[in-house]
Chain A
Amino acid sequence: GQQVMQIPQYQHVQEGEDFTTYCNSSTTLSNIQWYKQRPGGHPVFLIQLVKSGEVKKQKRLTFQFGEAKKNSSLHITATQTTDVGTYFCAWRDGNTGKLIFGQGTTLQVKP
């Protein structure tokens, strides 16, 4: 079945450094969604990308969808301690409603 691979699994950065997580699929994705889960919390939707080469920004967060629609990335500029959490990419199967999640990247930010 459809799988979404995400790397790295963990990332420790100093506050102020940048951070990037990558999401890859062996097949073309119709969409990619990104979620953030704070420690002890639940996944919260951040954004959805559907177009080839699409780039969207939310303040210090930049989301990209690859030209071939097989990969995506989330880049955080100048991390802050509030960015701590696990970031998941996911593909939504439009027929069944299934969200297929990547393994997530857990970000730790040292003040």
Chain B
Amino acid sequence: ETGVTQTPRHLVMGMTNKKSLKCEQHLGHNAMYWYKQSAKKPLELMFVYSLEERVENNSVPSRFSPECPNSSHLFLHLHTLQPEDSALYLCASSQEVRGTDTQYFGPGTRLTVL
């Protein structure tokens, strides 16, 4: 266990559904991240939060909406997704955004969009 938990672990949704992914870190870190891992593609950074403030938005479609209510919790709200959005969504945290300290990944949510 890395101290980063994600729920749900698996999610199947239709294109008209609205769902949310949840991430929680128990490490006292100030920075949290959302990554997308698709088959045959490198991990792609989606969003970066530092102390609940979004500091990076990597040209992600608006059908993905992040929320960071406090430094321990991070959500990814999903609506009107496309089948090509099916992927493993990984949350990570680190002590700070700046610097080169380790990012700890959660187990991920395997999302399938029908």
Contacts and interface: CB of A to CB of B under 8 A. Distances in A.
Contacts of A33: 100, 102
Nearest to A90: B43
Interface residues of B, number: 28
Contact of A98 (B42, B48, B50, B102): B48
A46 B29 CA distance: 19
B42 A31 contact: no
A102 B42 CA distance: 6
Contacts of B48: 96-98
Interface string A97-110: 11111111000000
Given A88-B43, A97-B55, A45 B103 contact: yes
Contact of A31 (B2, B33, B92, B100): B100
Interface string A28-48: 001101000000011111001
Interface in A3-59: 30-31, 33, 41-45, 48, 50
Interface in B13-52: 31, 33, 35, 41-43, 45, 48, 50
B56 A98 contact: yes
A82 interface: no
Interface of A: 30-31, 33, 41-45, 48, 50, 88, 90, 92, 94-104
Interface of B: 2, 31, 33, 35, 41-43, 45, 48, 50, 55-56, 58, 90, 92, 94, 96-100, 102-108
By Cβ-Cβ distance, the 3 closest A-B pairs, closest first, are: A97-B97, A101-B43, A42-B105
